[in-house]
Amino acid sequence: MIIAKPKPIEEIIETTKEFKKILVAGCDGCVTVCEAGGMKEAQIVGSALRIYFKQQGMDVKVDEISLTRQCDRPYVAQLEEKLKDYDAVVSMACGAGVQFLAEAFKDKPILPGVNTCFIGVTEAKGEWTERCQACGECILATTGGICPIARCSKRMSNGPCGGSANGKCEVNKEIACGWHLIYERLKELGQLDRFERPTSPKNWNTSRDGGPRKVVKEVSQL
């Protein structure tokens, strides 16, 4: 899923304080699972804004809602009627959701309520870690199911570099060395021969380097 984290409330206050009627819109998708931008977090932001504006003696209306998804038009369209009552929206969705609302409601300022971080997993309760950088050409079949692009700080194809120690990355001892993990896993799978085979330069064109991307499934367009 897409992992995000809530923006500091001070930053949200700064971007919303010129408005009188604010809707905080959560998303029931990924950001709910990673506890950054679901209904619960929308209510927390809403409460914090109400307290702030009240303390400042400002008469500001703040309400909350959460959409099934902010990255799908039918769900976004459900906001149409409701938005007439508001002059700004704080979207608690990922960057895709924020932009999709902005495209749908051209006359309303849509403000981000979270920082979108990465594609990852729930590592432990309250902890999420990165697994994928959406390079568009998956190589996990050759690397023991562990991605060197997402998990090596130098995204090496032929790692590890000389700086890892005790299975940790030289950049930060909190980070596992992706190539150490790959090596150990290949060993477990009896595929160590793969480790010594040089991997040729990657085609990054399918990654963000190729420009904004699009996936088309023709059969679904009929």
Partner 1 sequence: MTTTTPSKLERILAAGHFAVTSECGPPRSADPEVVAHKAQMLADFVDAINVTDNQTAVVRQCSLASCIRIKQLGLEPVLQMVTRDRNRIALQSDLLGAASFGIHNVLCLTGDHQSFGDHPNAANVFDLDSTQLIQTVKMMRDECKLLSGFEMKDCPKMFIGAAENPFADPFEIRVSRLAKKVAAGAQFIQTQCIYNMEKFKKWMQGVVDRGLDGKVAVLAGLTPMKSVGMAKYMKSRVPGMDVPDDIIKRLAGVPKDKVAEEGIKICVEQIQELKEVKGVRGFHIMAIEWEEKVPEIVKAAGLYPRPQV
Binding part of the chain for partner 1, among 7-15, 33-41, 89-97, 161-169 by CB under 8 A, reads 161-169
Q: How far is the CB of 203 from partner 1 (least distance, A)?
A: 11
Asked if residue 171 binds partner 1 (CB under 8 A), the reply is: yes
Binding part of the chain for partner 1, among 12-20, 36-44, 58-66, 160-168 by CB under 8 A, reads 160-168
User: Helices (DSSP H) in the chain: which residue ranges?
Assistant: 9-16, 30-33, 39-55, 73-77, 95-104, 148-151, 178-188, 218-221
Asked if residue 180 binds partner 1 (CB under 8 A), the reply is: yes
What is the torsional sign of CA 159, 164, 165, 168?
Answer: negative
Q: Are 23 and 64 in contact (CB under 8 A)?
A: yes
CA distance 212 to 219: 22
Q: How far is the CB of 154 from partner 1 (least distance, A)?
A: 5
Q: Are 42 and 93 in contact (CB under 8 A)?
A: no
CA distance 99 to 105: 10
User: Using the rule CB under 8 A, which residue among 43, 47, 99, 199 binds partner 1?
Assistant: 199
Asked if residue 185 binds partner 1 (CB under 8 A), the reply is: no
Q: How far is the CB of 15 from partner 1 (least distance, A)?
A: 23
- 145 or 163, CB closer to partner 1? 163
Q: Kindly report the CA angle at 70 between 133 and 1, in degrees rounded to 5?
A: 30
Tell which positions 126-155 bind partner 1, by CB under 8 A: 153-155
Contact positions vs partner 1 (CB under 8 A): 153-167, 170-171, 180, 183, 192, 195-201, 204
